[in-house]
Structure 1
Amino acid sequence: MTDTLAKFTADITRQASRLVSRRFGRSGVKYTKENRADVVTEADLAANRLLVQAIKKKFPSHGIVSEEQPDWQKDAEYLWLVDPLDGTRNFSTGTPLFGVMVAVAKNGVLQHAAIADPPNGKLYLAQRGRGATCNGKPVHCAATKDWVYSYGCTGAGLRANKLASLQRLIASAAREPLWLSMFGSAAVAAMYVADGRRDWAFSRSSGGVWDYAAGVLLMGEAGCTVTDMDGKPWTLASTSLVAAVPALHAKLLSLVQPQG
């Protein structure tokens, strides 16, 4: 089952990536969610149909939690966590910072993950206990040990639930330099941290588990330390994320975790 799941996860993510790539620059906004900044395009919906239909056909007893549809058998032993197009606002404005994210958990524990980078033709894969790859080559987090020379990122846009953590980070810049990218995509942040282009990432989720599941496994298998903002191991029930190269995790956690 393990090898079957690994291959299937890679195959369907690759297919969805090709679909999204073909529609980049040609897929208009279909509708907006409760928050008007959260847009949905035809590409989101088409990629979601592709992924969900493939999973249901191959594994009809498995559950699915996707950003773009109601939960399906979410109490099943195997649960798929799908974000068919992460970074839709970037996608809809012609900004090449977005990704396709698919992960599968068994009894609540992440087992396989895939994140596609359609604009750059990359596919990142991770399997619990077996490391992480990009286009078949192993990837590892950076070896940065000094916070002053580190370069971090966050995936989501700026929202009220992230302000306190961001304010503490900015305040730290009065004492030492702070380099921070705001990508507008959790998928992009995870890829950059996993392959060493960034040293750390953090977020307080305003979305769902699909925003982080694949990235958590990818960054963890690439050698990062990954927790929630309380410093506890990340789980499917977590609502925050702190990921960093091992030498910098404690520092990052001290700056972003809730106070009091």
Structure 2
Amino acid sequence: MDRDLHAARDLVAGLAERAGRLQLDRRGTLRVGAPKAHVNDVVSDVDIASEQLIVDAIRAAWPDDAVQAEEGHGRDGTSGWTWIVDPLDGTRNYISRTGPWSVCIALRQQDQLRMAVVHEPVAGETFSAIDGGGAFLNGGPLVAPAGVPLEKALVGVSFQPNPATKERAARVVRELLPVVGDIRRLPAALNLVYQAAGRLDGGLALDTFLWDIAAGALIAREAGIVLGGHGPDFSTELTIGAAPSLWPELSERVRAAA
């Protein structure tokens, strides 16, 4: 069974923006819970409230769909469609007030990503994409530029802050920093959509979860960013993105170190 992906995109973009407003309104009164997988894996009551808002609305609109959600509000479905939800990608930035974060929602039919939304609350920017239908920023078309030489490239770096992944990230940064223009550490979804918007020339993400990268990956791909890792597509272990002219050299450098 197919569905109207444009209508779905518009509905969940509104949900993401509502969650973003909640996050801005409650930032001064948030409560941080116990760490999850490791000491740097933090969660707040705002993460949980944001996910509840999004998942409740998705269940009401599409009761037969499955949901994969970071903070535990997932469920099985029978329709063959799955919603992938990260209600607050970049919780550490949000809590510490040291950088951007986003609300991420993607829709997958079987194993194919079909629609995605990434909303950045502070900037009021909503990135979106429809499979085969292009990428958008606040409703306007989004096409990544061709790229720059490696020595001028601004490269985003994203990774889970557990001890083993930090060791991997350190190897990659040691390899890249002398040969690129500069690097930026960002949450994975914003890393990918900033490539789509031409704010970054390339980027990589190490040891993420599907909800961290699914929405951003579809938006980047639809804007013309080349994606891959140790295989021909994005993966939770390693995702490399770059403008087409930069891809061969950047991906070679990252794969050698990661």
Counterpart AA for 2:201: D
Alignment match, 1:107: 110
Counterpart AA for 1:243: G
Is the 8 Å Cα contact of residues 124 and 135 (structure 1) preserved in structure 2?
A: yes
Helix, strand or coil for the counterpart of 1:53?
A: helix
Separation in 1 of the partners of 2:184 and 2:238? 18
Alignment match, 2:230: 230
Distance 1:248 1:216, change over 3 A: same
Provide the identity percentage: 27
Counterpart AA for 1:78: W
Alignment match, 1:244: 242
Q: Report the alpha carbon displacement of residue 74 of structure 1 after superposing the two structures with TM.
A: 6.0
Separation in 2 of the partners of 1:130 and 1:230? 27
Which stretch of the first structure deviates more once superposed, 195-204 or 70-79?
70-79
Question: Considering only aligned residues, what root-mean-square deviation do their CA atoms show, in Å?
Answer: 2.1
Structure 1 residue ranges without an equivalent (≥5): none
Structure 1 residue ranges, 4+ long, deviating more than 6 angstroms after superposition: none
Alignment match, 2:51: 48
Structure 2 residue ranges without an equivalent (≥5): none
Alignment match, 1:167: 171
Distance 1:230 1:96, change over 3 A: closer
Q: Report the alpha carbon displacement of residue 216 of structure 1 after superposing the two structures with TM.
A: 0.3
Q: Report the alpha carbon displacement of residue 26 of structure 1 after superposing the two structures with TM.
A: 2.8
Q: Is structure 2 residue 151 aligned with structure 1 residue 153?
A: no
Is the 8 Å Cα contact of residues 52 and 73 (structure 2) preserved in structure 1?
A: no
Matched length: 254
The C-alpha deviation readout for 1:112-132, integer Å capped at 9, x for no partner, is 100010011111111111111
Q: Report the alpha carbon displacement of residue 11 of structure 1 after superposing the two structures with TM.
A: 2.0
Q: Report the alpha carbon displacement of residue 253 of structure 1 after superposing the two structures with TM.
A: 1.5
Is the 8 Å Cα contact of residues 155 and 188 (structure 1) preserved in structure 2?
A: no
Separation in 2 of the partners of 1:52 and 1:45? 10
Of 11, 16, 22, the residue aligned with 2:14 is: 11
Q: Report the alpha carbon displacement of residue 148 of structure 1 after superposing the two structures with TM.
A: 1.0
Separation in 2 of the partners of 1:49 and 1:74? 17
Distance 1:93 1:65, change over 3 A: same
Q: Report the alpha carbon displacement of residue 34 of structure 1 after superposing the two structures with TM.
A: 2.4
Separation in 2 of the partners of 1:254 and 1:74? 40
Q: Report the alpha carbon displacement of residue 10 of structure 1 after superposing the two structures with TM.
A: 1.5
Separation in 1 of the partners of 2:182 and 2:161? 16
Alignment match, 1:209: 210
Separation in 2 of the partners of 1:161 and 1:7? 36
Q: Report the alpha carbon displacement of residue 50 of structure 1 after superposing the two structures with TM.
A: 0.3
Separation in 2 of the partners of 1:94 and 1:259? 31
Separation in 1 of the partners of 2:66 and 2:7? 17
TM-score normalized with structure 1 length: 0.89
Of 172, 182, 187, the residue aligned with 2:185 is: 182
Separation in 2 of the partners of 1:85 and 1:202? 20
Q: Report the alpha carbon displacement of residue 31 of structure 1 after superposing the two structures with TM.
A: 2.6
Distance 1:168 1:89, change over 3 A: closer
Separation in 2 of the partners of 1:168 and 1:239? 14
Separation in 2 of the partners of 1:74 and 1:166? 40
After the TM superposition, which residues 71-150 of structure 1 pair with which residues of structure 2 at under 5 Å, given as runs?
71-73=74-76, 76-150=79-153
Is the 8 Å Cα contact of residues 25 and 92 (structure 1) preserved in structure 2?
A: no
Q: Report the alpha carbon displacement of residue 24 of structure 1 after superposing the two structures with TM.
A: 2.4
TM-score normalized with structure 2 length: 0.90
Distance 1:60 1:167, change over 3 A: same
Separation in 2 of the partners of 1:168 and 1:20? 33
Helix, strand or coil for the counterpart of 2:159?
A: coil
Counterpart AA for 2:222: E
Is the 8 Å Cα contact of residues 80 and 110 (structure 2) preserved in structure 1?
A: yes
